[in-house]
Homo-oligomer: A and B are copies of this chain.
Amino acid sequence: MKNCLRRNVPPGFKPFLGTNEYKNHKRFIIDEVISTNTSKVISDISKLFDLLKITDGFTLSFHHHLRNGDEVMNMVLSEVKKRGIKNITLAATGIFANNDMIAQLIIDGNITNIYANYINGKTGKVISEGYLQGNLIMQTHGGRPRSIEAGELKIDVAFIATSIADKFGNGNGLLGKNACGVLGYTIADMLYAKKKVIVTDSLVERVEYCQIEAKYIDYCLVVESIGKQSGIVSGTTKITKDPIGLKIARDAAMFIEEAGLINNGFSMQTGAGGTSLAVASFVKDIMKNNNIKASFASGGITSYFVSMLKEGLINNLYDVQCFDLDAVASAKINENHKIISASKYANPFDNPIVNNLDFVILGATEIDLDFNVNVTTSSSGLIMGGSGGHSDTAHGAKLTIIVSPTMKARTPIIKDKVTVITTPGEDVDVLVTERGIAINPRRFDLIEQFKNSKLKIVSIKKLLEMTHKYTGIPQNVEFEKRVVGVVEYRDGSIIDSIFQVRNNYEL
């Protein structure tokens, strides 16, 4: 045979058709050879346990991208229970009420150690009551990937709920019947766990864009359902209508403006709470009135920020997790909606996005006179939250604002000392309440700057005293001596301990 240059081409070879011919073809990349030899699909969880030799003492990891809709953790832990496996270390990025079955496994000793960034529901209650035989280590979103990459948290098997996957182990969270969006919290597990299993209910021929890459994956467990997509919208992700919340939000936005942080190219994170989103909406008004555009917003992403991206008010979103379906849809199609890992989001050693934040709006269950914040337990000491990205963003942002009413259900938010420190006062700059704005004395620059402000600046002590007039001085809560958990700061050090609650604790 001759090619287009009339040169000889031996049989079995492809003739040259011109130097631009390649443009008529798509790039073809095989998986690494290991991936192509065998399909990794398995549909029997019991067989998977046998193959992975999952037994007493294993560390199993999960992520919370499906939030209150996740069924993967329950499914795997049911198999643990069925087999009577003991002494499991559960490394879950988040535990929700949906996972309340964990409580019994703790009581029965199937699970004896837990790593989590956030715990809600019955699981927190039984841990607070002292049922967990080993340690609870509460981490941050940035601290967890740091501890994994550093070999502190060693995961035997990572189970990664992946809403769409192929048999080789490629997958992402953007497609499939239970699309939950960005899988930012899974990446460290994918990279460093000894064995990695993706769990999917949408197996397709080929996944094109892969947040989960075949080369890291050992098995692809195909199940009927990984959960309910609708569960990703848990809690409020709408702007508050509460007048107190709105006043706080307006004052917070005015404070940020007066602090000089709303300029072209600024960046922010506000979270998904009703008051936080209200701050975003007031900031948006300021932006529009002054024709200002933000460079980015980060964190868990809601439709509110998606619409700001669409309107061109924000150049980029850095998304570690989608909080609603608009965010999922946007992450899928908008190239300025950037998908990032938890490490890139908040790992102190990964030059994280949080370090570029101008301001962050955060909540608090308690805040004390040193501006230390508790979002890990209730005032009665019951575990019902966790840092998530709280202390990561508080450290990274130029200005960290806590928005909170002075009291919730007649319980004061401001304390002499918080029950548990989640985020140190060193990184908390301002508390905005309905009764005034307290600036951390460490920020003498801000105190100076706001000396003549029309905003009501008061000391946090003054706010505490005002609150006590309404609530009375709350009784000190007494705890058992036993430590049931520790709060690990993002660098791996322990910032506080969580003590066992007394039998008569109030919910």
Chain A residues proximal to chain B, CB less than 8 Å: 3, 5, 7-10, 13-19, 21-22, 25, 27-30, 32-34, 36, 149-151, 154, 191-194, 348-350, 370, 372, 391, 395, 421, 424, 426-427, 483, 486, 489-497, 499
Contact = CB atoms under 8 A, between A and B. Distances in A.
A32 B154 CA distance: 10
A357 to B, nearest CB: 15
A4 to B, nearest CB: 9
B29 A497 contact: no
A19 B490 CA distance: 9
Given A5-B495, A7-B494, 8 more contacts: A5-B421, A5-B424, A9-B486, A14-B494, A16-B496, A19-B395, A28-B150, A33-B193
Contacts of A499: 8
Contacts of A19: 391, 395, 424, 426-427, 489
Given A8-B483, A34-B194, A192-B32, A21 B424 contact: no
B34 A492 contact: no
Contact of A493 (B8, B21, B370, B391): B21
Contacts of A348: 22
A42 B346 CA distance: 39
Contacts of A25: 491
A239 to B, nearest CB: 31
Contact of A372 (B5, B27, B191, B424): B5
Contacts of A395: 19
* Top 6 A-B residue pairs of the complex, sorted by shortest distance between their CB atoms: A27-B349, A30-B151, A22-B491, A8-B497, A16-B495, A16-B493
A9 B137 CA distance: 12
A356 B28 CA distance: 22
Contacts of A16: 424, 489, 493-496
Contacts of A3: 493-496
20 contacts: A5-B370, A5-B495, A8-B483, A8-B496, A8-B499, A9-B497, A13-B494, A14-B492, A14-B493, A15-B493, A16-B493, A17-B493, A18-B426, A19-B426, A21-B493, A22-B349, A27-B149, A28-B150, A30-B149, A30-B192
Nearest to A9: B494
Given A16-B495, A19-B426, A32 B421 contact: no
A151 B426 CA distance: 55
A150 B29 contact: yes
A489 to B, nearest CB: 5
Contact of A496 (B5, B28, B33, B192): B5
Contacts of A486: 9-10, 13
A148 to B, nearest CB: 9
A360 B138 CA distance: 58
Contacts of A494: 3, 7, 9-10, 13-16
Nearest to A395: B19
